[in-house]
Structure 1
Amino acid sequence: MATPVSAVHPHSAGLRERKKQKTRDALVDAAHRLFLQQGYAKTTVDEIAASVEVSQRTFFRYFANKEEVALAVLADAEETFLELLRGRPAAESPLEAMRGAVRQVWHSLDQGRVAERGTVTGALELFELIESTPTLLAAHLRHTLHQEVEVARVLADREGLDPAVDLRPRLLAAVFGTVVRLSHLSYAAAPDQHGHCMDGMLSLIERHFDQLGPALAGSWR
């Protein structure tokens, strides 16, 4: 007979959730390690599951396919970004709120609070893997478009706008996403020029944002 929900002890439920999160993080960590060691295409779901000592069936309880586990850290970071953006002070302009939220996300990565593999170094390795793997890049770009819609919705809610009528939230979300991606690519291309991972990455992102206004509206001469 099934146990009534009311009879489930809160501590037991919390323990189960922590165990599930630990298994999920271990799968993500193992997948990234294998992808970096032997390549994305050559890594199988069976290998990922075996390295964590779980079944293929268990893997598919957490992830639909290899693409999803490969992009899990970025997906977690994006969810964290949306939560932080919603919580930014109402007095901040949309761009200020987004800059503040992205700083918070990178600090969370630096402290290992976004999945086990979710460190700054792990995230930068993942960006390089995505850019060099056409299948992952296509999946990532599709996900990015969905993320832009979500970010635009949050911005519109903050400003009391209708995103179907006012194009500014979607435009800013698209520009913001492009600036962050270009910053990641710039850092990956010459990491030694930018210092400590987290500080260097944030400095590069901030510099790109500082150039945003002049680049769009100022004279290029």
Structure 2
Amino acid sequence: MTLPGLRERKKQRTRDALIRVALELFTTQGYEGTTVDEIADAVEVSQRTFFRYFASKEEVAFAVQQMVEERFMRALTERPPEEGPFDAMRNAVLSAWDTIGEAIAEVVPVELYVRSFQVIESTPALLAVHLRRSTEMEESIARVIAEREGLDVDADPRPRIAVAAFSGVMRVTGQLWGRGEDPTLEAIRALTERYLDHLGPALAPDWRA
């Protein structure tokens, strides 16, 4: 009975090592300048083994980000039904940031995650993928919000509009965090909370009132 557990832990260690090495190489020699063979060689596995875990170099580049997004989606689906859309999204993202640090650190150092985020922002091929993934994520969130509110997402524009506003704030805070001097998760949580608190006032019709 213990063998499957050992096997699974070994597979997880290999997967984590591939992510960690890939991000280290991407941040030191560039995404375009790094090959799958280099990643596999550094972990002392075959190229075939790499492709057992990841379909492409692109997929490994976004592996940690995927984990963060999945944590947020779980938190959102677990928010109390009486919370309104913006409160649910705000509380879900802050809740996710409260718990994600340890999960990230089990795979890669947090500072490496920050540097890999900067690589994504500065690499055209990765930035294009990031924008596509963000669009897909927004659609998933909008459908969750519509379901919470008992709405048809294709008939009522409010879920997609609300999510677009929320996602815009998240995009801004991510960029500011990546360019900032404090690379901690506490810093992005504080920045996210501050900017989300300004979302309502920013949508007010008259800023001068």
TM-score (norm 1): 0.86
Q: Structure 2 residue aligned with 1:145, among 135, 138, 141?
A: 135
Counterpart-to-counterpart distance in 2, 1:55 and 1:146: 32
What is the DSSP-based 3-state SS (H/G/I as helix, E as strand, rest coil) of the residue aligned with 1:145? helix
- One-letter amino acid matched to 1:83: R
CA-based RMSD: 1.8
Higher relative contact order (CA 8 A, sep 6+): 2
Quote the residue 1:5 is aligned against: none
Query: Is contact 2:26–2:34 with CA below 8 Å preserved after alignment?
Result: yes
For 1:33 and 1:90, locate their aligned partners in 2 and report how far apart those are by CA, in whole Å: 41
Segments of structure 1 that go 5 or more residues without pairing to the other structure are 1-8
Q: Do 2:104 and 2:110's aligned partners in 1 also have CA atoms closer than 8 Å?
A: no
State percent identity of aligned pairs. Answer: 50
Deviations 1:79-138 (A, max 9, x none): 111111111122221211211221222223322357602x54333222211110000000
The superposition leaves residues 176-216 of structure 1 with CA deviations (integer Å, 9 ceiling, x where unpaired) of 22211100111222325xxx722221111111111112212
Alignment of 1:212 with 2:199, yes or no, is yes
Any unmatched runs of 5+ in structure 2?
none
Q: CA deviation at 1:20?
A: 2.0
Matched, 1:46 2:33: no
TM-score w.r.t. length of structure 2: 0.91
Residue type matched to 2:22 in 1? Answer: A
Give the count of matched residue pairs. Answer: 208
- Residue type of the partner of 2:158? R
Whole-Å separation in 2 of the counterparts to 1:200 and 1:97: 21
Of 173, 189, 204 in structure 2, the residue corresponding to residue 202 of structure 1 is 189
Residue 16 of structure 1: CA displacement? Answer: 2.8
The 8 Å contact of residues 22 and 60 in structure 2, kept in 1 or not, is answered as: yes
Q: Give the match for residue 182 of structure 1.
A: 172
Is 1:148–1:177's contact at 8 Å kept on the other side of the alignment? yes
1:72 aligns with 2:59: no
